[in-house]
Amino acid sequence: MKCTLLLLFTGSIIFFMATRTYAASIKRVFMFAFAVVPSFWATVKDAPITARQDLFFGMERTEVLCARF
């Protein structure tokens, strides 16, 4: 399966061209589907993820993490 490694924020994510999905790099846990625009808006159904509030730099954001790590 062809993939492209993307380094995003503090971790790394693999983008799989064939399935158009993003996965956590270590265990290839699929987290986001590319068909959704923007691509990091909706998670893959039943993806093992956790969300954490991030207030760094005075902005309110949500960090999505793989729950298996």
Which residue has better confidence, 64 or 6?
64
Q: Give the pLDDT confidence score for residue 27 in this predicted structure.
A: 58
Does 62 score more than 60 pLDDT?
yes
Tell me which amino acid residue 13 is: I
- Beta strands at 30-33 and 49-54: parallel, antiparallel or unpaired: unpaired
Range of the domain at 23: 3-66
* pLDDT digits 0-9 by tens, 25-48: 555 566 666 665 555 666 777 777
How distant, in Å, are the alpha carbons of 23, 26, 49, 67 from that of 4?
Answer: 11, 14, 21, 22
Taking the C-alpha atoms of residue 33 and residue 51, their distance in angstroms, rounded to an integer, is: 17
* Domain tally, the chain: 1
